[in-house]
Amino acid sequence: MKRFSVFLILLVFLTGYCSAQTLFTYGNDKVDAKEFLRAYKKNNTQPVANKEKSIREYLDLFIKSKLKVKEAYSRGYDTLPNLKTEFANLRAQIIEGYMTNPDILDKMTHEAFVRSLKDIELSHIFISFKNAAGALDTTVANKKKDEVLALLKKGTAFDKVAMQYSDDPSAKENKGYIGFITVFSLPYELEKAAYNTRPGHTTDVIRSNSGYHILKVMSERKALGKMKVQQILLAFPPGTDEANKKLIGKKADSLYKLIQSGRDFGQLASTFSNDYISAATGGNIPDISVGQYDPVFEKQVWSLKKDGSVSKPFQTEYGWHILKRVTAKPLITDENDKENLKVLEQKVKTDGRWKESTDFIYNEVKNKAGARKEVYSAFSLWALADSILNNQFLRPDGRNIQLSTPLFSIGDQKYTAGNFIDYARTYRFKPDGSGAKPYDQLTDEWEKYIMKNYYQDHLEEFNEDFRNQMAEFKDGNLFFEIMQQEIWNKAQADTTALLALYNQNKPKYIWNKSADAVIFFCSDGSVSQKVYDAIRKSPLWWKNTVAQYSELVYADSSRLEWDQIPGIGNSTPVSGMVTKPQINSTDNTASFAWISKVYSQPMQRSFNEARGLVMNDYQEILDKKWDVELRKKYPVVINEATLNSILK
């Protein structure tokens, strides 16, 4: 067993060693087997009959392209403004996809799916960081939290503690009862605590930006899915007393009787409902999931057992409601349902949990780039920040730090107190307008901001896939630019050389059996059938037919050899023939032809007719000549041992 284990370790080592071996050198540069195989596999996705032949042919093309790119660098093409702009634009377009960890996204999407199968019944105690006067006071909040924990530990009923201590304004009436929730109903930290706690137990204390939270899991059940309903809401205006609430209730009873007598629910909703958004659509409200609305409201929603059933009027703190069930959307329990997974993935990306998929960035920058906090007094920094940001008198402890004092470093790059204060000018206030962020939170956010920007600016150093993609794009642009200058433009402009090549090789440039035809390219099969029918009826009016379909159809008239005519199959072309649409299975596009004239015998191509073919041949001549020159300038040496190892 031990010898076998050693053999496996040796095999893995040698395999890695082989892939890291140099495959060939060109000038002072080298390419290892790993780089070549990555390119080969990317461009050869289908099985090949002769692997050695395929690899050797691709190696020759690969070396030729490497030589051209090296020459482009030597000429400074990588500094051309247009290429630099294209490179920067592509980087900006694709970089966001590399700023998250796909494994974490998959994990969180799976987690969301599993949680979507279960609803959790909760009660809640909230302890605000603000005191009775509205000022930030974590000392009071901590004291209150400890009192709550002590009472719960003694066995005091959760609802009683919630009524007495919770800073949630509704707790006095609902005793902290939230009702049932499902995935995405709550902020992620609360959801995570709820789903990780057994029924009958309370969660640990959860800290948010606004305060402390304690949840009690009352029960759990199989998730109910979603419900589509219509609503009539007779809302309570602000300050409505009980007498007027009863009067509004009587109006709701009258509407209910009208519904029972057969009046259209949607029309009544449009006329009488105070929920003006849903009233505009006949009372239709977006699909309801558990945990979105008041528990009383949701209880009524899920009590509607049949499509078309209508609830009796019921009261919530918002007013009197009447609901009609439109349809129930059953719970999706198949994790392979791609459409549902897309929805969950999108919700994960826009939810608070998504930040966890970017947290890996900070570890990467710390571990690989040496990000670190410098030694300084936080209190001195905050005193200095107060004096500058709030125009306050500089406290004595603020004199121990300067704007130039380094607070954070990544490698040799220093970030100073001045940098922090510049950041704080823009980001110090909470997004909800509830005041300034605590300085410890702001400092933490600033450090993460620095590390995220550093990671983004140096992503090639952290992510091999991104580095390879950007290198391929850059080299591809350089290859295109130098080919344009050295081959394509020269071949196109040198008419004298093209004509000479044509005259030397006239027998090569002939028409096989051919035809003049109009080719129709259609966006899909159904469009092609309509155009096909119209062309068959009136082929001479083909331009008018194409114009009717705007961007869905494109047509081009040209001379084609018989085997190039779409839809011709084994048929013999005849003047006036319209071939049947040929459907492309990959994208459902379609093409067919109207044949106007047939040439049944081979014919000599004129220079103008053969120009494209002649130009291709001339480009090949120029390319071969240039390849010889480049190999003299940058000698190529292939490591046959490494090549043989990848041919096996």
Confirm whether 335 is domain-assigned: no
- CATH number of the domain enclosing 201: 3.10.50.40
Are 272 and 246 in the same domain? Answer: yes
* β-sheet bridge partners, residue 583: 590
Could you tell me if 249 and 311 lie in one domain?
Answer: yes
| Residue whose entry in the numeric block shows the structure tokens 């990467």 | 364
* Domain end marker among 165, 198, 222: 222
For the chain, the distance separating the N- and C-terminal CA atoms, rounded to the nearest angstrom, is 28
Q: Is residue 615 part of a domain?
A: no
3-state secondary structure of 565: coil
* Regions of the chain where pLDDT drops below 70: 1-20, 397-398
Predicted confidence at residue 625, as pLDDT, reads 96
Going by C-alpha positions, the residue among 24, 46, 26 that lies closest to residue 35 is 24
Residues 382 and 411 in one domain: yes
Same domain for 252 and 204?
no
With respect to residue 12, please indicate whether it lies within any of the assigned structural domains: no
- Does residue 15 lie within any of the structural domains? no
Question: Do residues 274 and 203 both lie within one domain?
Answer: no
Q: In this predicted structure, what is the pLDDT of residue 96?
A: 84
* Position 167, amino acid: D
pLDDT of residue 291: 87
Q: How far is C-alpha 575 from the geometric centre of its chain's CA atoms?
A: 52
The answer to whether 238 touches 255, Cβ cutoff 8 Å, is: no
Residue 97 lies in a domain: no
Last residue in a domain, options 198, 222, 246 = 222
Question: Which helix (H) or strand (E) element contains residue 24?
Answer: strand 22-26
In 3D, which of 276, 236, 232 has the Cα closest to residue 258?
232
State the Cα–Cα distance between residues 455 and 552, nearest whole angstrom. 44
Residue 197: HSE in the Cβ half-sphere, 13 Å Cα cutoff = 24
H/E stretch holding 66 reads helix 51-74
Give yes or no for a contact between 403 and 421, defined as CB atoms under 8 angstroms apart.
Answer: yes
Buried b (16+ CB within 10 A) or exposed e, 556-591: eeeebebeebbbbeeeebeeebbbbbbbeeeeebbb
pLDDT digits (tens, 9 = 90+) for 264-316: 999 999 999 999 899 999 999 999 989 888 889 999 999 999 999 999 999 99
What φ, ψ does residue 435 adopt, rounded to 5°? 125, -170
Q: Do residues 365 and 325 share a domain?
A: no
Cα 348 to chain centroid, rounded: 11
Give, in order, the Cα–Cα distances in Å from 434 to each of 126, 130, 170, 200, 438.
Answer: 17, 11, 20, 35, 12
The enclosing domain of 541 has a CATH number of 3.10.50
User: Are 276 and 367 in the same domain?
Assistant: no
Domain that includes residue 133, residue range: 118-222
**Do 385 and 373 share a structural domain?**
yes
- pLDDT for 17 equals 40
- At 112, list the tokens: 């969301």
**Are 165 and 261 part of one and the same domain?**
no
Task: Verify that 207 and 231 share a domain, yes or no.
Answer: no
| 471 within domain boundaries | no
What is the reported pLDDT for 438? 87
Residues 231 and 320 in one domain: yes
Distances (CA, A) of 51 to 41, 168, 563: 12, 71, 30
Neighbours of 35 (CB within 10 A): 16
Residue that is last in its domain, among 419, 436, 460: 460
- Residue 6 vs residues 10, 14, 18, 645: alpha-carbon distances, Å: 6, 12, 18, 22
Say if CB 325 and CB 221 are below 8 A apart.
no
Of 316, 308, 322, nearest in space to 271 by CA: 322
- pLDDT value, residue 349: 83
Helical H segments across 505-588, by residue range:
525-537, 542-548
> Per the structure, how many domains does the chain have?
4
Residue 231 located in a structural domain:
yes
The answer to whether position 48 is within a domain reads no
Both 241 and 320 in one domain: the answer is yes
